[in-house]
Amino acid sequence: MGGVRAPDPLLPITGRNGSVRRGKNGARHMKIASFNINGIKARGPALVRWLESAQPDLAVLQEIKSTDDTFPRALIEDLGYNLETHGQKGFNGVAIVSKLPLEDVTRGLPGDDSDPQARWIEATVSTEQGALRVVGLYLPNGNPVELEGDGTPVAGGKYAYKLAWMARMEARLRELLALEMPLAVMGDYNIIPQTEDAARPDAWRDDALFRLPSRKAYRRILNLGFTEAFRARTQGGGHYSFWDYQAGAFERNDGIRIDHILLNAYAADLLQDCRIDSDVRAGEKPSDHVPIWAELAL
Q: Known binding site: residues?
A: 36, 63, 188, 190, 288-289
Q: How many residues make up the chain in this entry?
A: 298
CB 77 within 8 Å of CB 104: no
Distance set, CA 142 to CA 64, 150, 205 (Å): 19, 19, 14
Closest-CA residue to 53 (of 286, 277, 287, 289): 277
Helix axes of 158-177 and 212-222: crossing angle, nearest 10 degrees: 10
**Rounded distance, CA 230 to CA 233, Å?**
5
Q: Which long-range contacts does 50-54 make (Cβ < 8 Å, 24+ apart)?
A: 50/277, 50/280, 50/291, 51/76, 51/79, 51/81, 51/97, 52/79, 54/277, 54/291, 54/293
Closest-CA residue to 132 (of 107, 166, 100): 100
Binding positions for Mg(2+): 36, 63, 188, 190, 288-289
Distance set, CA 115 to CA 112, 156, 161, 173 (Å): 6, 12, 10, 18
**Rounded distance, CA 33 to CA 156, Å?**
33
Q: Which residues are catalytic?
A: 138, 188, 289
The full DSSP string for 155-207 is: TTSHHHHHHHHHHHHHHHHHHHHTT-S-EEEEEE-----SGGGBSSGGGGTTS
CB 66 within 8 Å of CB 60: no
